[in-house]
Every structure is written in C-alpha cells, then in structure tokens.
Structure 1
Amino acid sequence: MRVIVLGLGIQGRKRRDIAGNDCVGVVDPYQDEADYRHVADVPLNSYDAALVCTPDAAKMELLTYLLTNRKHVLVEKPLLSEHPEELAALARLAQTHGVTCYTAYNHRFEPHFVRMHEALKDGSLGRVYTLRMFYGNGTARLVRNSMWRDQGAGVLPDLGSHLLDTVLFWLGQPDEPFRLYSANRFENKAPDHCAIGLNGAVSIHLEMTLLSWRNHFFADLFAEKGSAHIQSLCKWGPSTFILRDRKLPSGRPDENAATLVQPDPTWALEYRHFLELCERGEGNLANDIWINDVLQRLTRDVLEGRCP
C-alpha cells in the first residue's frame, strides 16, 4: 500500500513513522521538509491511500477530494460537521468507489481496552449497571497557545470523542441521549474541563479535562456478576486491568489483575487494521455519524450556556 501523509504535526509524524516504507510523500503547506504543499499537487497514480492529520476545518474538503479520486483514507479523530449530511455524503462516496474511510480511534487497540471488550462480549460480567470513565491530560497551556485548538467546545470534542467511541466499542450505541453535566473554562477560552453522561439501561458518566497535571485515564465498570477496571494507558504506564468476581451475598471479591509496562502499541496495531480494512473496502463512518450527533448537541449546550 502506497500512502501519503497530509499534515506534518505531532500526529502526522507518528503516522509517517509507522507507515515506514509505505509512505511515498508528505503534504504540508508550512513544513519545509514536506514533499508537496497541496494534495492536488500529488500525482493521483503515485499513491493508494492518505493519512489525514490536518486541523479539523480542512478535513471535509480533503476527504471529499480523496474519496472522489478512489483513495482510501485514515483521518484523525474527531470527524465532525455542523451539517450531518456531509458525513452521510462521505459514506456514500466511499461505498460508491469501494474504498475505505476510517476515522482513527487508536485507544480501541489498547490491550486492556480489548480485554474489557472481551470480558463484556463473553457475558462473564452479566448485566452492566454503571460505567465511569475519566480522561485527563495537562495540555491546557499548549491548547491555549495553539493557533486553532482553543475554540468551540474545547476538550469536549477532543477527548470526549475518544470516550464516546469507547462506549460504542464496549457497550454499543445507547438508546438514551447524553446530557451535559458541567463545562468549565478554568484556564482557556474554550472549555478545558467537561462532564457528560446518561441515566438509562446503563448509567454512564464521562469526564474529560486538560488540567490533569499527570496524564491519566481510568474506567470503572460495575455489573451483575462482578466489575472490571482499567488504570492508565500504555503510553502513560504502567497500565493495569483488574477483573473482580462478585461474592454473594457480600464479601471481598476474587481478583485477577494484569499490569503492562510497555511502549504504546496502538498506532502500529491501528495502521495494520486500516490496511486490512482497505483490502475489504470497509470503514467506520456509521460510528462517526452517531458521535457527531452527540457532540453537536452537547456543543450547542456548551456554547449557549445550557448547563446545570
């Protein structure tokens, strides 16, 4: 597979390095080391797929160009639009031309995220009651100093999109709507701390912040037959997964814990997954359509101050 990278920021450099010899060119209007300034400058017969790592505002036009020209696409999350029909149009383009349009949510490839998915899939936990997730990093100052990131709903689409995709991965699409619980602008112009959730068949609480001075993630899932817990991601390690069996009528549960200390494996695993999807012409835009719907509604609540 011959790929090009669009956008040579932090993510673009990671994608380029993971693609290795597959990468035949880099497009960036500002970086001197880029091979091209605009994607239209790249000969169409020189590549098969594009890894799109640009600011959000440029994504829709780039994806339309690439899919129209029968190129597979991996695009960094989030893929959002104020006009939902634009995402549906991308899905039709990909289907018409038999190519993949895949939005990258690399946390699905965290080893302990996969273990959580498997524990839920095999039914060993029984009916799920509650899920709480927290995702925090300390990038508030970097975001504030960025030319384009400190705007709109801030941390909500940035980290919230990861958490919503994880809900899809573990539990599927909820029937109930998410609500905005809180949105704070402690240091930035756009929200740097948010909490959202729903109270339905499963009670879900998602918290995200740019003000966690030690980067951290956790998930606590409580269910009929036990509970499952994740502490941290591999990139911030150590990362631990704990599975507990409930004791009846009550008591200290049996516990199975696994801790990983290793480099982040998700970028390479996701790239291989993308190549496999390209062979089948499959993508994940249906997930994006749901995530976009949730985040657009919550963004309106944030911007209009509709928050308890």
Structure 2
Amino acid sequence: MSGVLEVSSEWLARREAQDARARSLALAEAAAALLPPGPVTVHDLGSGTGSMARWLAPLLPGPQTWVLHDWNADLTAHAHRGYAPRDRDGSAVALRSSVEPLEQLTAAHLAGGSLVAASALLDVLTAGEAHAMVDACVAARVPALLSLSVTGDVELQPLDPRDRRFATAFNDHQRREVEGRRLLGPYAGRIVEGLFSLAGWNVRRAHTTWRLSDRDPRLLTEWFDGWVEAAEEQDPRLLGEASGYRELRHAQLRRGELSAVVYHLDLLAWPR
C-alpha cells in the first residue's frame, strides 16, 4: 500500500494477548471445517509480526504453510525470528513472506491457497484495496477469515459526558485521508461483508470485543492515550478539554476504576 500507516512491533506485541482473547473461536472452527483434506496453505494479509498465525495455526490441521503478506518487511522478519507456530497436531508450521502493496493482490497470489486470514486490517484499507482483496479471494475461490475490524463503538466506565465527543472525532480520524488514501475506518467490516455477499458468497459475522481494565494497565493507558490523541488531531476544538479529560481518566486508572470495551467485527466468507 502506498502511504502506508506505520505500526510498531512493540505495539503489536503489547496487543497480541488481547487480540487472541477477542477473536471469534466459533468462526475459526468454522473456517477449519471448510478446509479440504491434505496440506493447508494460509495467506495472512497484513500479517505484521505473525500474531494471527500463532493464534490460528493450532486450530487448523497440518501440515501447514503460512504466507505472510505485508508491505513492511521488518515486521514479517519478526515472525521468522520468533518461535514457529504449531499446527493442531503439534508440528511446526512453515513460514514464507511476500512483501507487496495490498492493492496489487490478485488471484494469482492466492492460487492453491486453502484460506485467507487477516487481523486488524480492514479498517486501515481504502475502498480500492478492499475491492482488490475480495476480488482476489473470489477469483481464487479461497475462503477468508477476517478478524478484529473496529466498528467505532467504544464504552468507557465510569461514563463521562466528553466520551461521545472524543469517540466521534476518533471515528472521523479513522476515515481520514493519508497521502491520498481515504481509509474505510469503522465502515470497513460491513463494506467487505457486502462485497462478498454481492459476489454470491456465504458470510458469517461475529461481534467481538477488546475488554481493557487495570489487569493490563499499560495496554489500557496506551490505547486510551492513542484514542485521545487521534481525536485531538482530527478535531482541534477538543484541545481545550483534552488535558483535564486525560488527567481524570489516568487518575481513575491508577485507582483501578477505569475500563473500556472496544467493539470489533469478525467475518468468515466462503463460496457457495
């Protein structure tokens, strides 16, 4: 992808356990049931450091090969340096990397694949990239398991009257233009679901959640600060109240009072 959004390996590592708890196990098991007998090849789009492989591979039969598609070769290098994922029978999974812009993905890249997987990807795509991904899956007739697309819905406890204003600005920020790329943001999951449905495919959805609390205060703090900073960037009118809002929420977190639920959508699409 041109104008790609940069994501650090440290942030991906911090969120990995929360992602693993949030993803839909029911959809993963349904995806496993769609696989034909024999060797399994999974194409992981926007693979980052390989967290989806570490979560999903143990739920699928082997032998498995995962092709890690990402535009950031430094992130995929982390996956190769780490502990190799294991399949359902405990055998090591083979890893390969493919570094290319997602808008250039075609059916040829997925030829012979058993499953396409992605996690926390759809909301940072453009409409063109989403179309390219769906078109490639449909042309190659490869099912897709697409996890953790943000919906824009967030619940903070305790409630504060400023929550809604910051949430609205954050969601607008998710749909901003980045170097000529207009992001789909919170609409991504529903748009991709619609594209697969228009292609005549079956689609199942699951509503999934991040549940952040003082059990992992560092992740909650990092998520909240990033959420507020994005809202401020999108709507400078919030700058005047952001400092007090942030101070209140940090004090609540130190007292063990703050929690947040971040809603996502998981999709499984497969040909009829």
Q: Bin the TM-score by the shorter chain.
A: 0.3 to 0.5
Q: Which structure has greater helix proportion?
A: 2
Flag the structure with larger Rg: 1
Query: TM-score w.r.t. structure 2 length?
Result: 0.34
Query: TM-score w.r.t. structure 1 length?
Result: 0.31
Higher relative contact order (CA 8 A, sep 6+): 2
